[in-house]
Structure 1
Amino acid sequence: MSDATDIDKAEYDSLRAESLFHQTNASAIFGLNLVGMGIGITASTRIDGALAVLAVFSCVLWSRYCDHLMAVFRIAAYVDRELRPRLVARLGDGVLGWEAFLRAERAGKRDHLPRLPSTDSRIGFFAALLAFLLPPPLLCVVFVVQRYPASAGAGRVFLLAGVVLAALVWVHAIVRGYRVNSWISRTDRWIGAS
């Protein structure tokens, strides 16, 4: 192998490790959100504001989850659109064809494996979206229902300010999720067009 091929192989190995890092972190963030919900709901009986903080926490974790998910798609796009063609041109063989293989499977173009049950790579995205962004408004409603009657004056102002802040963070997280989903769809189609 030439030096350039060795460099490309080292780059590929590095990108695979980075992709695995992002996948592992996304899974850990998803788990952290679930554990955080359990601990936060339990702690809310003793800590004022825990539910509002938990709502914001879930939205922040959602943003981090999206960052890792986009990184995985960027790596896949780079490998399929940049690195693989360089290696194919240099080696003359079909190398690094995993993305093409997956896309052929999704489209039912291979005759040796049955068609995948789902061709949408974003189903996990929507499940995560619900796990991260469904609880915040519910937590805020419970927080207000629990704390509003016992608060008065400045306490009510702080309570409502906390809920408004959580709602603004939640709306931002929803908009970010919409943008990330659109970006993933476009990136997925772009990779498939190669």
Structure 2
Amino acid sequence: MTSQPVFGIVGWKNSGKTGLTARLVEEFTRRGYRVSTIKHAHHEFDIDKVGADSFRHREAGAHEVAIVSDTRFAIMHELRGDPEPTLEDILARLAPADLVLIEGYKREPVPKIEVRRLDARSREPLAPNDPHVVAIAADHPVSDTSLPVFDLNDTVAIADFICSLPQLAVT
């Protein structure tokens, strides 16, 4: 896998993954870390607008379209029937960072925290069947595990835990 420290945030739909990821980015950035994120989507998405020049380029058949300004750039890569790239492929495209947080990618062999919400308890917990889940963040008491359990909203404690993992070496 990549030489950059990678940590995952996983859970079922509407479990609070995005909220926790955003809070962790804010916390690590506050601490002075350079953080990148990767969000896995299980559905089609588009970051472009119909009618925009870049949209027209893609519609015309461009393989990649880069949009560049003095504040940001984005590269859109059209798969056009090719298989979805692996997490490793995407990590290789990222600039170096102190930490890469990945949201989703439930089945990847990276250290991760499982996010659970009380109203989503009907879903099967992921931790019992995934040796890469190293902790749980929940909005309710969790007693059926030997893993560390954090309050879903205790971002500082979760960030401290992530920094303490020897395989990440986030310093």
Instruction: Give the TM bin, normalised by the shorter chain.
Output: under 0.3
Compare the two structures and name the one with the higher strand fraction.
2
Q: TM-score, normalised by structure 2?
A: 0.23
